Amino acid sequence: MSEHAATIRRFWQTTEARDWEGLAEVLAPEMVYEMEQTRERVRGRAAFLRFFGEYPGDWHLTVRRVVADEEGGVSVLDFTVGDERLVGISFFTFGDDGLIHRIDDVWPEPYEPPADRVHLTERF
Amino acid sequence: MSEHAATIRRFWQTTEARDWEGLAEVLAPEMVYEMEQTRERVRGRAAFLRFFGEYPGDWHLTVRRVVADEEGGVSVLDFTVGDERLVGISFFTFGDDGLIHRIDDVWPEPYEPPADRVHLTERF
């Protein structure tokens, strides 16, 4: 496993454990967290830890996949809040210090496929 | 750039060029393409080439980001169909032959942020 992949796994391990001090250790102080779908942004490690720490509900996550290279990485999560099941995709950008400087989060939702391609696909 | 990252870029370069023969060269014959959000699946290279080849509209793509490691990779696209702008995220799984054996595609859509976190984020 690459160093960045290991840092991404530690990011989610500490988050699931609500170990906010451990999580802070992999974050750059000036980090930025963005959700392009909602156009929301959180600036700085302190604000980010508050955002995750106050996230409502009895949520749990498991890491489905991590891909990482020299510059950054991506994780795919299975995320549950009570009975609700979500998929979370996070893009991580690292600095030369090995810390996370930027996270771009995406939460794709189910939708109905267009009718004009039913002859080209099967459903599962 | 890693070999897998180069293959992913070639995948999108040939797709944008409608160079279906070039695209076929990076695909395993038994490849599988899935869209988890709509629970659609396309089995096999021939069916996949038909799916992309028949995709309606005057669509164009530019690659925003590629992350790849030994096992696979991820791309993020800015995709347009006429005036419509979409973001596409694709997870690629490679075989030992260096070909693409599986693609998992995600198309996240904009949504309104939950009201209970407006005090924790800014909008952009």
Report how far residue A47's alpha carbon sits from residue A31's, in angstroms, rounded to the nearest whole number.
10
The helix or strand, by DSSP H or E, that contains position A32, with its residue range, turns out to be: strand A27-35
Task: Tell me how many residue pairs between chain A and chain B have CB atoms under 8 A apart.
Answer: 121
pLDDT at A116: 86
- pTM as predicted: 0.94
A16: phi then psi, degrees, rounded to nearest 5 = -60, -35
Please tell me the predicted confidence (pLDDT) of residue A71: 87
pLDDT digits (tens, 9 = 90+) for A32-42: 999 999 999 99
Q: What is the DSSP string of B12-72?
A: HHHHHTT-HHHHHTTEEEEEEEEETTTTEEEESHHHHHHHHHT--SSEEEEEEEEEE-SSE
How does residue A115 score in pLDDT terms, banded at 50, 70 and 90? confident
Q: Does B37 contact A65 at a Cβ distance shorter than 8 Å?
A: no
Each residue of A58-67: pLDDT tens digit? Answer: 999 999 999 9
Query: Which candidate in B121, B122, B123, B124 is best for mutational testing of the A interface (most A CBs within 10 A)?
Result: B121
Residues of chain B with pLDDT under 50: none
Q: Is B64 on the interface with A (CB under 8 A)?
A: no
Q: Is A29:B108 a contact under the CB 8 Å cutoff? A: no
Per-residue pLDDT for A1 more than 80? Answer: no
Q: Are strands A40-43 and A27-35 parallel, antiparallel or unpaired?
A: antiparallel
Q: Give the distance from residue A77's alpha carbon to the nearest chain B alpha carbon, in angstroms.
A: 13
Cα nearest neighbour of B4 on chain A: A69
CB contact under 8 A, A110 and B37: yes
Burial annotation A45-61 (CB, 10 A radius, 16+ → b, else e)? bebbbebbeeeeeeeeb
* Interval A95-114 mean pLDDT: 95
pLDDT of residue B114: 87
Token pair, residue B49, equals 């080439």
Closest CA in chain A for residue B122: A41
